[in-house]
Structure 1
């Protein structure tokens, strides 16, 4: 594995480039970009699980930290901006096509959770991406808009007030994606399977990583409310598509998002695979479920990138 950097606008995006066994720089290889979930980083499921698995299959892989997060540059810090997240993919492709040993006609993407939603949006408009795989892809905008009646509007009002305060010199307000500990979640009485598993994955040794500190810039959230990761998929998403979801639905909605994407995508070659008994986070790192996802991705990319 090699740590590399590529540009998005004026800052560097940090990435891990993995080369397959017996790599020969004089040959041309297919390459797959792997994108991490929202609140995550390249050192977690997108890199250490899916990029590792795909590299073992013979692919070059590129797992990157989102702009403004992890080891990547970009100010302000801890910003979750859909437009920038989507542009990260295009910049990743820009980087790959400069490598002599990457076949520019065999570039694919795998996105996990929110990274899967962003991957869909990027693939629609960057047709240098020839095949798209998603694992428990979630539509971040849909998730932000849901909740109690009027909650989204109330949140936007609060965000506007915070932006005004910061414009006048106040310190940036940082919030969290999820409770900071199992104890905090239990005290809040949260029992939804996705939140329970998210806290276990991100806030315990199971998946905890310093590049994923559970910090979110509150004043930067406005754009997310108007974002639809699947907007125009019925018109622009024509590449081969493999969707993977778990059969256990949770509050993040990746199960229904998977079926919505399947129904909306224009792709002639598309498939949805439901992993029996798996919840959203089981497909991040649980071997018995990840193995099924990787097996399905192996078949998909063999058909569409080889």
Structure 2
């Protein structure tokens, strides 16, 4: 079995909290390929990025670091619950810095994996950090597109006006407005008229014993969400994304858009080596933790990283 160490390291002006997964039979005198695992939006390292993908990759012989985003989870940074794509991408760079401070990590065999929003952040990071030698996006979602579309009710200008007004109020002393991205329960969502598979399955994952964790807040600081509105996770993929790429999606599309984003990324990436795996009969949130689709994904991920790291 893999072993788990809780670690912290310095970020910009605060500390990041992370879980370091070490392979079975770990020997600190040897060198290992290492992977950074990035969690979804509104999530934490104990949900899917760590307890599912990092753990299973460590069992396959990789050193894996699953970290909490700045301003979220157990990591530092104020104000809380910021979801700023530029900082989220920067977090991945600091995670790589930490891995490279470990004598048993091979600097030439660094990979990256991310789930949902973390998958798209991983893509963006790989374009500007050549230390990443191969990457995998698991049901990746382009948060900028989602903000401009579903999360703003397809009216981004009105949303930006509201965010501006709220940030002005907060600058003048009003309380921070932290929104919850999801209803409190699946039943509450249905009673509110919500029918989308992604919304209801996300609620089932995050708001029940299935995936609920103390730091999985599913929250966002509304007035700071404007940072994502003009951001595109896949910008410049046609020229800058050249590392080996694996995209994993389910074939049951939902409002968060991972299915369409996965195909867009696959089409736009300049990578000479790229592949897309569609888990037939499975959804976005099935790929978070359900044994059968996760096993299907891992059957692609493990040989991919073994070949390219």
With the length of structure 1 as denominator, give the TM-score of the two structures: 0.98
Alignment correspondent of 1:292: 296
The question of whether the paired residues in 1 share the 8 Å contact of 2:41 and 2:218 is answered with no
What is the CA distance between 1:215 and its match in structure 2?
2.1
The residue number in structure 1 matching 2:57 is: 54
Aligned with 1:230 (options 231, 234, 242): 234
Deviations along 1:204-233, whole A, 9 cap, x unmatched? 111000011222111111111111000001
- 4+ residue segments displaced more than 6 Å: none
Change (3 A) 1:202 1:125: same
What are the superposed Cα offsets for residues 168-222 of structure 1, whole Å, 9 maximum, x if unpaired? 1111111111112123201211111101100000001110000112221111111
1:80-99 mapped onto 2 (5 Å cutoff): 80-99=83-102
Cα distance in 2 for residues equivalent to 1:117 and 1:213: 20
- 2:185 and 2:207 in contact (8 A); partners too: yes
Q: Gaps spanning 5+ residues in structure 2: where? A: none
Taking the aligned partners of 1:145 and 1:40, their CA distance within structure 2 comes to 21
Deviation for aligned residue 1:163: 0.6
- Counterpart of 2:23? 20
* 2:42 corresponds to 1:39: yes
Structure 1 match to 2:268: 264
* Aligned counterparts, 1:1-306, within 5 A: 1-147=4-150, 151-305=155-309
Using structure 2 for the length normalisation, give the TM-score.
Answer: 0.97
8 Å Cα contact 2:37-2:54 kept in structure 1: yes
CA contact (8 A) 1:237 1:267 kept: yes
Equivalenced residues, count: 305
Contact 2:148 2:154 in 1 (8 A): no
- CA deviation string 1:15-69 (max 9, x = no partner): 0001101111111100011111101110010000000110000000000000000
The 2-side partners of 1:149 and 1:49 are apart by 32
SS in 2 for 1:71: coil
Provide the rounded CA distance (Å) in 2 between the counterparts of 1:120 and 1:13: 21
- 1:258-302 residue CA offsets vs partner (Å, 9 max, x unmatched): 010001001000000001101000000000000010110011011
* Cα distance in 1, alignment partners of residues 54 and 154 from structure 2: 40
Q: Root-mean-square deviation (CA), in Å?
A: 1.0
Q: In structure 1, list runs of 5 or more residues that go unmatched.
A: none
Change (3 A) 1:149 1:66: closer
